[in-house]
Chain A
Amino acid sequence: GESVGLHLPTLSVQEGDNSIINCAYSNSASDYFIWYKQESGKGPQFIIDIRSNMDKRQGQRVTVLLNKTVKHLSLQIAATQPGDSAVYFCAENNIGTSYGKLTFGQGTILTVHP
């Protein structure tokens, strides 16, 4: 995984707005992608995943979009709530060659204002 310096991207939204968090992944051979939410001092919490044979997947209040052409992943959160405030990480994996070994993106800090 790649780790970056001290300046994570940030996104501030008002409660009730929709949020879009973006991620550029690095390995064109990756075929499995996951979004995790991490609250301060806790481990990552699974949100939603998508395989490379899909370009969109929906969950409860969340949607993940995958654009393999430009190696881009996004997470859309509908009707964002204060409890959604956290750091969001995308992660990628090549199931065939390195099953389970996740490479994490740099993370985005989401702040939801009441």
Chain B
Amino acid sequence: GAVVSQHPSRVICKSGTSVKIECRSLDFQATTMFWYRQFPKQSLMLMATSNEGSKATYEQGVEKDKFLINHASLTLSTLTVTSAHPEDSSFYICSAFARETQYFGPGTRLLVL
């Protein structure tokens, strides 16, 4: 299968700071990537669609000014959680399509203290 990586895998930050999470497609190009959030013992919820060279589209209820998405190349999308608060602590997972199948990254565990 295709490989999607994320960095960092885990991050701890102080409340009020910003955190950047990278999502890379390693062996294919992805014009579209997706960002999901997963709280403990819950399912994945789509946050936004990242489009290479254009603005991201956000799902209802997701604050675009808080979760900044940049998709500057065909292999990299970044999610920046701005002014993070403890309630933003979650597992953030990106995905991308390759050969008509959606592959997920390994996820980034964010803990905001």
Q: Which residues of A contact B (CB under 8 A)?
A: 1-6, 8, 34, 36, 41-46, 49, 89, 100-107
Contacts and interface: CB of A to CB of B under 8 A. Distances in A.
Given A100-B32, A100-B97, A102-B102, A43 B107 contact: yes
Interface residues of B, number: 25
B8 interface: no
A89 B38 CA distance: 12
A101 B95 CA distance: 10
A101 B46 contact: yes
A103 B104 contact: no
Interface in B34-67: 34, 39-46, 49
A4 B42 contact: yes
A19 to B, nearest CB: 19
23 contacts: A1-B43, A1-B44, A1-B45, A3-B39, A3-B42, A3-B43, A4-B42, A4-B43, A6-B40, A42-B107, A43-B4, A43-B93, A43-B107, A44-B44, A44-B104, A46-B1, A46-B101, A49-B101, A100-B49, A100-B97, A101-B46, A101-B49, A103-B46
B109 interface: yes
Nearest to B108: A43
B112 to A, nearest CB: 18
Given A49-B101, A100-B97, A89 B44 contact: yes
Given A1-B43, A106-B43, 9 more contacts: A41-B109, A43-B105, A44-B44, A45-B104, A46-B102, A89-B43, A102-B46, A103-B46, A107-B43
B12 to A, nearest CB: 15
Contacts of A105: 43
Contacts of A43: 4, 6, 93, 95, 104-107
A81 to B, nearest CB: 20
B93 to A, nearest CB: 5
